[in-house]
Every structure is written in structure tokens, then in C-alpha cells.
Structure 1
Amino acid sequence: MKKIINDPNQVVQDMIDGLIVANSKHLKQVPDTFVVARKDAPINGKVALVSGGGSGHEPAHAGYIGKGMLDAAVCGEVFTSPTPDQVFEAIKAVDGGAGVFLVIKNYTGDIMNFEMAAELAEAEGIQVETVIVNDDVAVEDSSFTTGRRGIAGTVFVHKIAGAKAERGASLNEVKAVAEKVVANVRSMGMALTPCTVPAAGEPSFELAEDEMEIGMGIHGEPGINRGSIATADEIATTLTEKVLSDRDFSGDVAVLVNGLGATPEMELYIMNKKVHELLAAKGINVYKTFVGEYMTSLEMAGCSITILQLDDELKELLDAESIAPAFRM
């Protein structure tokens, strides 16, 4: 294992320390937790957004904290759901009296632990609502989920629900727009190489030099097909057509071409070119494009394609200001 770390058992705390000192004007760590929050939290009268999950997906989730996006993120151990008590601390740290909204990716551990935390918060009089993101069209069930996995489409939920909350919307209004995003976003990914969890010290799966896997999950969960490496155009076509086949996309959309940690931007832009060609051929207009690393899988080489159907409300909220470190607009 070759990684630029100190102690494999201290990587999350070391990462948080580095994140905070890089963004000390805007972020803070809740003492004695792995919770990162807006420095100005709690904000009186504002619905607060909390997300999180296992570390190793950076910049998700703490990179999306800031005005216009999340109020806090809970950083679990690498590829491990944060514990209920940590999520509960995040809820308490950002509650400004208008309620707290939890954005949860559809993984069994995340759902269980976030929902337990919500129950603890409600017992203390904090109103909590949730949304579960399940944008991955690759598989219906996996080793980590019942139903579809939540992957890079979660970033659009953070952005749009965060913008809605920043405008003073009620908890129910934030929930409604988050559910709209979930209903209209689809993603699918692929991998060229495995990744190594620091504490494990060895790759989580194996791929031969000439192999790739289509539909791979962000924790290394199996995909739907393993075969010989294809060209960028062939990969983009496979992913995009699978996404488009899952719902009726038309009019304006947002596209996210996401790297999984070890894919050069050069390759992501080559993928993006083909995605745009495929959408144009179907009469679908790309209103806004995002290319880069938004939800990674440690040092996995690979990418995912996310498409979000837009209406006027979603466009306006997608365009709204954000000062989150990983999503400044």
C-alpha cells in the first residue's frame, strides 16, 4: 500500500484538521466529534442541512458545507457509516429552531444510523425531516443496500436543497425540493482499478490490467458487467444510454461527469464530449455541466455520469450562490 498518510487509524481526524485550517473562515469542527459545520452555525430561523457518510469520498461530504449548501457533515471512518451519536451531535450543533433536514444516501448503515439520530433529536424537541438518495441505475440491490445506491447525484441534492433553505424556505419546502431532485436524477459509474482502505492495507477487489467494470459502486461493490477496457466514447455511450433508459429526459438537464479519485480531468472531459453529443442527438439541451471530482472512491480510477432533469425552480436553485469549498458558484 502506497498512501500519503501518517497513522492508518488517524486518517479521518488528520483529514478534518487539514480541511479546517484550509477553510478556517467558514468551517469549524464540533469538539470531540468527526462533525464539520459552518462557522456561523446555528443560524437562527434557518432550516439546517446535514449530510455525511463514510470518509473516502472527498470532497463529499464536508467539502459541501457553506452558505448555499450544507450546514454540517458527519465524517464516518473510511467507507463506514457515521454512528448515531455523531449524527445527533451534528443535528444539535446546527439546529437554529426551524428544523434540520438530513440528506441520506441509500446504504443500509447510513439509513439506520441517521434515522436513529433523528429519533434522538425529535425526543429533544428538534424537528427533523429526511430524504434518501438512490440515483444509481446500475443495480437494484447490492451488498450495501436494499434498492438502488446513492452516489454522485447526492451532490445535486445538497446544492438545490441547500439553496432552498438559504432562501428561508420551511422544512417541508426543503424536503419537497429535495424529493423533486431525487425523482429527477439518475447516475451510473464504472471502474478501471480498485481502491485500498488505509486500515485494510490491500485492494478491496481485483481487476486485470485489460479489464474494467461497468456499474461499480463507490465502495467497490460489484457492478453489472466486467470486460475488456473500451474506448472513452464506448464507455460514455454505455453509461449515458443506461441512465437515459431509466426515465424520460427531455428539454433542459444538468450533467455531472464525476471522477472517482484517480482519473485525470483530461479523460473526464473526453467523456463529457461524448455525453454532450449523445444528449444533443436526442434533442436534450445541457443547461449546465460539471466536470471533476465530486464524489470519489479513494484512489479508484473510473468515473460516473449523472443527469438531472431540470425545471425553472431547479435551474434557479442550481444557479444560486454557494461558498462551499468544493462547490463555489
Structure 2
Amino acid sequence: MSEAERPPHAAARVAPHVAIVIVNYRTPDLALRCVETLAAERVALPGLEVVVADGGSGDGSAEKLAAGLADPRFQGWARLLPLPINGGFGWANNQAMLRLLQQDDPPDYIHLLNPDTEIAPGAVALLAQWLAAHPRHAAVGSQLFRPDGATVGSAFRFPSIGREFLRGSATPALGRAFGIRPTLVEDAGDPDWVTGASVMLRAEALREVGLFDDGFFLYFEEVELMRRLRAAGWGVAHEPQSRVFHVGGAATGVNVANVARRPAYWFNSRRRYFVRTGGTATLVAATLAWMAGRALWKLREALRLTRGQPAAAPEATDHLRLSLAPRPGDRRPTVARWNDPPDQPPAWMETAR
């Protein structure tokens, strides 16, 4: 939709129209608490609306959310979107975004927010202000914090063969020696991608490049989206003043930073990402690079040179099983377009059959 096609009253607004999408999966109490923390943002953003999408929880979450959102405090600005299946993070967000972008008064910006988050005052308004001031940026992400106040990595560089080697070796000094910049961005400047736990997206950019690729079930979908945005000439940024407290993994039951073994869908998403963005050769090279790094770690460990440093998660067996060859559908882009009809099944379900 071009600016000329927007409803007349949209151009007359002073504050941007922001919609927040929260995808819940079996964490209704956290999701409702998240919505509560958003109420104060309506002072700076009077047109703020919130869609809580329940991703087919099947445990009474949708009913609990419906009852909670019926509270008079939420009337007129927060609503429930019950979905029939657990179609994954990208698909569930797409279902809400499709409806928002196709409504009579579509938002200027869509803020994706995890249900296991609580925002600091002004966090949403700061992201909206940042995008308003930077019209060629498509995405801006918040700074995440643990409940104890410790910072959580929120801005990153794209996965690469070299970074997979560093990840397997769990030895940052090798990155400095070989000139491979780390995945985590800690200095000033635009990152390649930002966390999907709290990111605001420009609707105009989504109309241009598409929404999430729903061939991903969970993980890497926001990385792929931001790679598409950057390839189309849009910027991605991190706004550290937008502070969001995050209980990592509560919404999925898996915190990949701390889990002893990653779930199979993490490897499936990683495989699809490398195939979609670099082809089979890149997938194989990245996997072999991780294994080489892991072998180096094991050698250093045998020589007692690791000095208590944490090792990478033991992924070798899963990589041999899931990461050395593309699966059917990995190469096929299945990016949702803003004007697609909602409620189509996710592509990953088709390829999983």
C-alpha cells in the first residue's frame, strides 16, 4: 500500500500508529502481564493496539487469555487472535500481521514482543520515535535484560562459516587472531540483525519484502527476514534505551544459550537458513567449520588449556544427522506477502509430511 492509498485520517495523525503482536504458547499468565506493562505506552502512542495470538496452545491458554483481555482496562486496544495450530513463531506472527496490514487503518509500525517480557516505561515509544526519525530503517530492536538486571545479547552479525568455526571452538581469541568479528555486536553502529523478542518493524518495508518465511518453525526466521530487508536496501538498528526484561525460553520451553542439547527444529532452521542464503555448499562448509572448531576445543581440553571456559553445546551427532544435506523444501522460499489470505497452513508442515 503506497502513501497515496492510505486512508485520509492516517496522514493526519501526529503520533505513529503502532500495533504490538504477542504470540503466546502455553504462557497465558506471562502474556497478560506483558499486556499490562504496555498500558502506559498509550499516553505517547494513543493509537496503540495489541494483538495476542495464541498459537494453538491446546491447554486452556486461549480461554484464559480471552477472560483476561475482557478486563475493562484492555477494552478497545487489546484483543485475542486464537489460532487453531501451533504453526511456529514466524507463522503465528504472520497471521496477526496479515490481519493488521489488511485492515482499514493499518499500522505504520508493528512491534513483535515475546510474551515472557515486561517493558520498561517508554520502551515502545522509543522504538517508534527511532523509526520515525530514520525513514530508511525497517527494523529497530530493544536491549534485553534478565530479571536480575544483567544484559542479554540483543544485536548480532549474520551467521557465517567463520562464525560457525568460532562457535564450535568456543574460543573468542581465535576470532581476533583470524579477523572474524564475533556474532554479538557490542559496539556502536548498525547490527546485521536484532533479537525477535522485541523488535519494531516498518509496515512499508514488510509490504515491499514480505513477512516471515514460514518454512521455519522456530529460530532463524528473524535472521532471514532481516537479511532480506538489508538486501533490499533497508537498515536494521538497535536502540539500547528501549529496555525490555526477558525470561529467556519461557515461551518455548527451550533456552538455546543454556540447554545441554538443542532441539531438532533448531538444526532444521539452521540448515534451511544456510541453504536459503548461501546454498548447499555454504551449509556443508558451515557445518564442517563448526566441527573443526569443536575438534580444536577437544584438543585444547585434552591439553588442559581451556581453564574452565564453557564449551559449545555438544552438537556433533545432530549435525551429522541433520546438517550435511538439504531436505525437501529447504531451497524453496515460502515468504508470506502482506496481502496473502490469512490462515494458510505453514510451509514447514507441508515439507514435514
The alignment's TM-score, normalised by the length of structure 1, stands at 0.28
- Greater gyration radius: 2
Higher helix share: 2
Structure with bigger RCO (C-alpha 8 Å, 6+ apart): 2
